[in-house]
Amino acid sequence: MEYTHLGRTGLQVSRLCLGTMNFGPQTGEEDSYALMDRALELGINFFDTANVYGGKFGEGLTEQIIGRWFAQGGGRRDKVVLATKVYNRMGEWPNERGLSAYHIRKAAEDSLRRLQTDHIDLYQMHHIERSTPWEEIWQAMEQLVREGKVLYVGSSNFAGWHIAKAQAKAAQRNFLGLVSEQSLYNLNARMIELEVIPACADFGLGLIPWSPLAGGLLGGVLQKVAEGRRASERMQATIEKHRPQLEAYEGLCTELGEAPANVALAWLLHNPVVTAPIIGPRTLEQLNDSMRALEIKLSDATLARLDEIWPGPGGPAPEAYAW
């Protein structure tokens, strides 16, 4: 396993992050335990979850599964850099969502209880909260850090200017501020190259891409078109929309002798701002197969062909759309 620093921090995390969103709804508890155990065997020490994951409103089922896995002992908790999130609605009452100091405190305490741990290594804001001032957000996060319940703070689904504003307010308070941003990023979704990635690079945030395979689109979908969720009407429409690109992409992967999913992950890992793509395996086979991505080195010629097949916005702003 390869490790890298999380953004500008001294914290070292694996180049692949184990996503747990499937734990509960798609992957049963025992199978989830097996996936986490295997991840540790492979050297993956970075696990990502969220209080809202689990498919049952307000229950935090995925966090509960992880907590029961930690409770088995064997040094599991000490080996894991644990990331979870706050923002989404976790109850019917008005203050059971968002980024108010009230909700941040309660959500953190609830996550700690479900996860059966005394601290969260990376506490991520799942979305921007436009109605809450940064002074309130940072005050709440600082209190959690002082109490030792949170070590680092990250964002998710922020725009570039949200990152800039957050960091400016944190600097005024002599607070470390954001150390990571978790964004939608893959070969088919490159909009963040305009401003989010430049902001991450400038402020020293590690980028944690979610949906690195575009919901399975980049995982060899033409070869598996009738299987599982790929058979859904929505996915079929997406495949037809992108069929020429997919044919070119999967043809290139065949030339390289590599699985499309691993090429997609290797492309992300090539970006120096990327800390770790979030992989969401549903089986041990998928988890084991993902390790190949760490060994793939893409040539300049291959990167150029990928840009031709899956063009981005043209680089960073403003050069992408102006002189």
The CA distance from 317 to 193, in Å, is 8
- Taking the C-alpha atoms of residue 10 and residue 164, their distance in angstroms, rounded to an integer, is 21
DSSP 316: S
Q: Cα dihedral angle (56, 60, 62, 63), rounded to 10 degrees?
A: -170
Instruction: Tell me the chain's radius of gyration from C-alpha atoms.
Output: 20
Strands of 72-159, DSSP E? 81-86, 120-125, 150-156
The SS3 of residue 195 is coil
**How many Å apart are CA 130 and CA 48, to the nearest integer?**
24
Q: Annotated catalytic, 3?
A: no
Kindly provide the residue ranges of all beta strands, DSSP E only, lying in 157-293, ordered along the sequence: 178-184, 206-210, 278-279
Query: Which residues are CB-neighbours of 59 under 8 A, at least 6 positions away?
Result: none
Amino acid identity, position 232: S
Alpha-carbon span 42 to 11, nearest angstrom: 19
8-state DSSP, 273: T
Catalytic residue, from 33, 53, 87, 185: name it. 53
Report, as residue numbers or ranges, the catalytic residues.
53
